[in-house]
Structure 1
Amino acid sequence: MISRAFSALTVLCLYAVVTEAFQNRRSVSCPVCSEILANIASGKAYHLSYKCKCVVRDLKMSMAQLQTANSNLKGQVTGLTAHLGTTQSELDATRSQLNATQSQLDTSQSQMNATQSQLNATQSQLDATQSQLNATQSELNATQSQLDTSQSQLDATQSELNATQSQLDDANQRLQNVCPNSSAIKAACNANSNFTFLTSDNGCVAICYHVSNSFEMSYPQAKTHCSDAGGALITLDTMEKNALMLNTIRTLYKGKHIYIGLRKVDGQWLWEGTGNQATFTDWFSGPSKFAKCTVLNHFHQHRWNNQNCKFHHFNAGALCELTVA
């Protein structure tokens, strides 16, 4: 019992000290309680004095106030605890949302990083392709430059060739004027076995000729013979052609009179093969008035001599010529 009382008084005393200290903001002591405590501690009997009763009353009043304050505080703590719980739930929900958002952001960031990596790889490929294209373009430009240079050289060469060709054409034309091309007559002559091709040393005169085997013909017979052979009685209308033919006749047909294609028609000496009037002649002594046909007279080194067209008692042959258009 004493022990309980001691404990209660001790508590009350401590409460009073604490309360006084909080109210007056200073340390105070409870002498009565101290006295009682001291008596209890020494085993002495004790009685509560008036002052101690007052203290107990005050303590009871303070205890009620404390209980009320404690109840109020408990209510406030309960409200705060509930509010904190609600706030914590909201914070947890918000944190969950933030975590979900952060997860989405992390996923999006990963996707963006993967896309960026693909873009970087694609860009690298594009850069490599561009480099290859640039190198190819450079090669093409170099090739084009070479082609342009070659084309310029070809153009210059073509211009030179054109100029040379023009010069050759001019020279050939002049040559044709001086020395006609004899390739056609030569080909035709080679194709006819009755005729022989003859050309001068300088190639300017060419004759495809044929001499009859018979030397006992009249002029009409000689003309017919040449026509049957594929030609006509020869035309000796230039000095060069006449000289070339006479040299051959003098060598191969000594002692033979031979008709040529010159005949007097209406007072004019005309060539049978062309119908042209003779502008060049090689008469031995000039033609007589009555004889109208011409032979190469071997008595006068085969110079020209006119004879009667129908006489053939002096062994006259036919000198034929093959011509081409």
Structure 2
Amino acid sequence: MFSQLKEVSKKMKIENKLCAVIFDEMALKANISFNQRRDLITGFVTNGADTKPDFSDHAQVFMLRGIVKNYKQAVSYTFSAAATKGPELAKQLKAVIKKVIEAGFIVVATICDQGTNNRQAINILMEETHAASLRLGNEPKDNTFIVDGHEIVPLYDPPHLLKCIRNNLKTKNLTYNFDGQEHIAKWDHIYELHKANPIYKGLRLVSKLTDYHVVHSKIPKMKVKFASQLFSRTVGAWVILQFCYSGYINSSPRIRSHGCQNNNPTPENFSSAFTTLLINNMSSIHAPGARMILEKIYIHL
């Protein structure tokens, strides 16, 4: 894989080599199977270099995503028992970034959700960079880490940030300054708007606001759309009308899917789906190396 990426990068413009490494994990169904074609037993914990005699029930996936040029390519995965711990994840992430850099790409950021292990891994890499800077007598930078001389900015993906803002607003008030004055945003503001339910000629004017957006016990915590719709421009405009112009409202008129739905695949199912993903993606116009012949599908860090 990385040798193929290296050949592709040689033909790319410098700005098209700018990329981010995205990583996330998913749950698997523990299962041991023998792959006769590859002469390999799958289902044990492995990081690509070392294998442990423990059943794996999670997969950690790493993907390359272009910043200027629109391409994406899954480059590596590992199996673990439970979620990959922070120190091990930091080691794997650093290894993947090094391989991508060696292939000729310029990694400028990492993107992940705000899981505990992800944050721990990022903090470990930032602490390593901070300590190295102090040893060299340099002024350490905040919120970045360095791998092979490349400064990398860790980012959290916007969907999870939206959910986190929503979850915090449910239990805490938000204080902010606007036009030199201090204001407070509360969950009660959204609840009151939902309860008012403004209607004009039989049509709900805030159709995006339902019990699934507002009532704590009914909110689907993992669904991003209920958080994004809650902070939509429509809801925001009506909140302003409700509380800035009081009385206006009351007076107003696929790895998870492989051939079929499979939300909890076995390690063998996952490996097969990952291989299919690579083949399909490498023959796509969105891949950095479209229509390349893969030398090796099973990726080792």
TM beyond 0.5: no
The structure richer in strand per residue is 2
Rg bigger for which structure? Answer: 1
The structure richer in helix per residue is 1
